[in-house]
Amino acid sequence: MPDNEFRISGGLGGEEPASPYQNYLTQGIGFPLRPVDNVTNTNSPDLSGIIAKGIFMSWMGNWEQGLIYPKGSQVRDGSFIMLANKDTFERAAPQSEGDPSFSQPSYSPEATDPSNVSTIISGHVYTFTDEGWIKQLRVWVPALSSGTIGYRILVVDVPVVGEPTTTVVTPILGAVDEWVTVALLNNGVAVGDAISVTLEALNSGASTDIDGGWNYQGPTQTGAPQAQSWTVDNQRTSFRINKFDLDGTDRGTELEGVIPESTILVVDTDITALTGSYRVVTVIDQGLYMEYGVVLVNEAGGGPQIGVTNVEIDVPIPLATEYAEELAVWPAGNPAWATVESVLLYGETDQNVTTSGFGVDIEFQPASVSDDWDIIVSE
């Protein structure tokens, strides 16, 4: 059966071509596109890399044995809602085999929590030796304070087949020195798949502000901003700013001091209701300008127009950030279903710690899982 990347509803024309050298758009739902004659050039922007691609989903009700389900079929099978990622005869829902278990069932962190004056990234990389699915994610938080800029969990799924995916979880935490469930992941895994689960934390006191005028050059995917200007890509993931502001003042030292978890606010000077705010994730010094990997927090009115803007960057001052650690857990404590290695970074500096157990954990359910289906919901 056809597997069209794009489908349209309806069609144009309907008459037969006047000559074999003409084509009319006459197809309807599900038919591949054909060329159309006498179409003028367009000045439309290149949307490649901007529009997300996926598959069309069709609700098929309860899964039935003996039927072929086309790619995009969504079915209920027991307590699972499943999505077919290819044409398949296979059973939709994973079939449990044994009891679920955590990777650190008897976690005993050190009596004195280690700390560092930086953003702490701690966690594990699980390489699965059994197939099944991840039921839940839990974290162990050693300390919360009024200066803590929250916690953020990154789950990076690197399957044997397919593209890596990243899930960001911002947990609501209310307990200290005990496990707290923060997410029900329902990620299906195959033998050889790897999943990285890391907890990012930053404790901060006061903050310093960078404030000044820069010209908004407009969105651009790559390249340096012009002098005294800033740009952002169409996906709002890369913010670039020249080190000289509109007054011709060199702001390089201040901009180089921006750290992850800083916030950027840009305000249109003429129409102050047009604003954009970003949270900084990564920092790269590009010589004449700074490039910040960012996450868009808010964009009012579509953001500033091309022209003069005010740029304000709030840079937190890091304090000692604590994290929980149990020494020498891996590889002796590897669960039956995976091999585990640790991850510990102070800021962007790898501490080369591979055997400690940190305050993140997953619960795994061994199961027979079809590669033809993706888990949407597990009830």
Q: What is the mean pLDDT of residues 233-256?
A: 96
Higher pLDDT residue, 289 or 117? 289
8 A C-beta contact, residue 218 and residue 234: no
8 A C-beta contact, residue 223 and residue 279: no
Paired residues of 269 in beta bridges: none
The fold adopted by the segment(s) 207-318 is Elongation Factor Tu (Ef-tu); domain 3 (2.40.30)
Residue in this structure with the two tokens 């995009």, named with its chain if needed: 72
Contact partners, residue 366, CB within 8 Å, separation at least 6: 96, 97, 98, 100, 130, 131, 132, 337
User: In angstroms, rounded to a whole number, what is the distance separating the alpha carbons of residues 203 and 115?
Assistant: 10
Secondary-structure breakdown of the chain: helix, strand, coil percentages, each rounded to the nearest 5: 0, 45, 55
Q: What is the mean pLDDT of residues 94-106?
A: 93
Which stretch, 92-96, 137-141, 303-307, has highest mean pLDDT? 303-307
User: In angstroms, rounded to a whole number, what is the distance separating the alpha carbons of residues 323 and 359?
Assistant: 7
> What residue spans define the domains of the chain?
101-204+321-368, 207-318
Q: Which CATH architecture has domain 101-204+321-368?
A: Sandwich (2.60)
- In this predicted model, what pLDDT tens digit does every residue of 9-61 receive, in sequence order? 444 444 555 555 554 444 444 444 455 555 555 555 665 666 777 788 999 99
Q: What is the mean pLDDT of residues 235-247?
A: 96
Residue 80 has pLDDT above 50, yes or no: yes
Six-digit token pair at 356? 């400690």
In this predicted structure, which of 165-169, 260-264, 362-366 has the lowest mean pLDDT?
Answer: 165-169
Higher pLDDT residue, 343 or 158? 343
Which stretch, 54-58, 248-252, 366-370, has highest mean pLDDT? 248-252
In this predicted structure, which of 8-17, 86-95, 340-349, 364-373 has the lowest mean pLDDT?
Answer: 8-17
What is the pLDDT, as a whole number, of residue 144?
66
Higher pLDDT residue, 347 or 9? 347
For residue 88, what is the DSSP state? B
Percentage of the chain modeled with pLDDT above 90: 56
